[in-house]
Amino acid sequence: MKPRLQTSLSQQLVLTPQLRQALHLLQLSALELEAEINAAIESNPLLDWEEAEPLRVAASSDKPTSQAAGNDEPDADAHRWEGAHEDSWQEHSWQEHSWQEPHEGGRPGHEDDNAAERVVQTDDLRDHLTWQLRLTQLSSRDIAIGLALIDAIDDDGYLREPLSAIAEALQPDLVCSEDEIVAVLRQIQRFDPSGVGARDLGECLSLQLDVLPDDTPGKALARRLIAGPIDRLPRIGIAGVAAELKCDAEAAAIALQLLRTLDPRPGAQVGALPTDTYVTPDCVISRHQGIWRVSLADERRPRLTIHHGYEQMIRHAGASDAGYLRGRLQEARWLLKNLHQRGETLLKVVQCLVRQQSGFLEFGAQALRPLTLREVAAEIGLHESTVSRAVARKYVRTPRGTLPLRAFFASGIDTGGGGEASSTAIQDMIKRLIGAENPGKPLSDARLADMLKASGVPVARRTVAKYREALNIPSSHDRVRVD
């Protein structure tokens, strides 16, 4: 063999870090996002705050409503969508979309802002997974198996218990095979955060690779690395991996770089907030001249921008002197663009929720229709896990108070007329019936089931009992009151 020169084409992994940052920012609550931005400003000299006038980008559901909720305010532009895609993103600045005051005074829909309404309820990984499980189209049997699996998932997102132990824990109420448990586990492993429900590190990383596009550089080789020499990587290095996988060192390095962008502890992404933390709404839903409008909250927040002094230095410095600053400039631009994308995604999701649940905003829980993550994802053209991230630990200010975005979702029960009633609406009906009962002769679960059936909502007595217990309402025997 003689030495020779040759050229080759190769792909470089350049988008994955940006995509990872975008997903990370999307799942943050408003308070966590503020902390993230402050940390970015402290670590990156190219970023700075800049006071600016708020930019108006409002959106409507284009559905007129009655006067049942909130106060209408005159607005000449109430009957059109306004630039959700206006020039809020420029090359060197980013600002959250927000309302510009049509009149002097308080913000629309904020007149009854009460700090007591904004106390955060703790929400851990199991709550997050259980909520997603309730929105699936699984049978009651599979739901029971899913709840047992979720209970066995640890805070890092791993299922440490053997499947035989899960099956044993379900007995004697439910006898099932390990194959049935695996089938439900596969459903849970599709939930957010990606990688949850894995039984080991390899499976965790593989689940995260599943959600990446097929043309992601290094994806196929990364799967082979997970199945083979990943445990020996510290000992054999890139050269050993390349030799074992029969590929060149550059391809092995790209696959390894892709794996390093994945999260080995996905469950840690979803943690409980302190109980004394207050909610900062991410969005505002208000109504003007019968039109529901959506905007991102906190219009008085200063905008994030790139420090122009350092930018001038980069232009005039030599290539060797400005290398560090150019790297920081690219990071700053990524952050600004991903913050803008986060706002756009939130607007899309909340606008869809308003279109689907305008009755809920107008009349309350009794008008909440069944709605799942999959339906929202299909309507706005996003992946189901992306919608889940956008909804997790996000709150919206409405004429009915500050609500979690999760409140707009509910599983459904078939009604006698061919439609569906949400579980939340049925619970509200049960609460109303019990509230109007004779204290000396309270309604039994069977009687409540009959009354619901007469209203067109056929539910079993045991379902009524389950919803009553979820509302922390005692049984009819314990509700008897003799004056």
Going by pLDDT thresholds of 50, 70 and 90, the confidence category of residue 215 is confident
pTM exceeding 0.85: no
C-alpha 198/C-alpha 186 separation (Å) is 9
SS3 396: strand
Task: Give the range among 162-171, 382-391, 458-467 with minimum mean pLDDT.
Answer: 458-467
pLDDT the model gives residue 344: 92
Q: Which of 374, 348, 473, 359 is nearest to 422 (CA)?
A: 359
More confident site: 311 or 448? 448
* Tens digits of residue pLDDT in 236-273: 888 888 888 888 888 888 988 888 888 888 988 776 44
Separation of alpha carbons 89 and 95, rounded Å:
7
- Of the pLDDT bands very low, low, confident and very high (cuts 50, 70, 90), residue 111 is very low
Which residue type does 73 have?
Answer: E
Whether 54 has a pLDDT exceeding 90, the answer reads no
Which carries the bigger pLDDT value, residue 423 or residue 52?
Answer: 423
pLDDT score at 31? 81
What residue ranges of the chain are covered by domains with CATH 1.10.10.60?
Answer: 412-479
pLDDT in tens, 178-195: 899 999 999 999 988 889
Q: Sorting pLDDT into bands at 50, 70 and 90, what band is 60? A: very low
More confident residue, 42 or 325: 42
More confident residue, 303 or 210: 210
CA–CA gap between residue 76 and residue 54 (Å, rounded): 19
Does residue 206 contact residue 226 with C-beta atoms inside 8 Å? Answer: yes
As a whole number of angstroms, the distance between CA 58 and CA 97 comes to 8
The tokens of 48 are what?
A: 């700075």
What is the distance between the alpha carbons of residues 460 and 446, in angstroms, rounded to a whole number? 8
Mean pLDDT of 51-59: 46
- CA trace torsion 24, 26, 28, 30 (10° rounding): 150
Mean model confidence pLDDT for the chain: 76
pLDDT (mean) for 64-88: 36
pLDDT at 353 over 90: yes
Q: How far apart are CA 26 and CA 62, in angstroms?
A: 26
pLDDT at 302: 55
Judged against a pLDDT cut of 60, whether residue 429 lies above it is answered with: yes
Distance CA 97, CA 434 (A): 44
Give Cα separations from 414 to 72, 409, 410 (angstroms).
Answer: 35, 16, 13
429: its two tokens: 């009906």
* Residue owning tokens 């350049």: 14
Q: What would the CATH number be for the domain defined by 412-479?
A: 1.10.10.60
CB atoms near residue 198 (< 10 Å): 24
Is the per-residue pLDDT at 407 higher than 60? yes
Q: b/e per residue, 201-239, with b = 16+ CB within 10 A?
A: bbbbbbbbbeebeeebbbbebbbbbbeebbeebeeeeee
Q: Residue type at 368?
A: L
User: Per-residue pLDDT tens for 4-35?
Assistant: 665 555 544 444 577 778 888 888 888 888 88
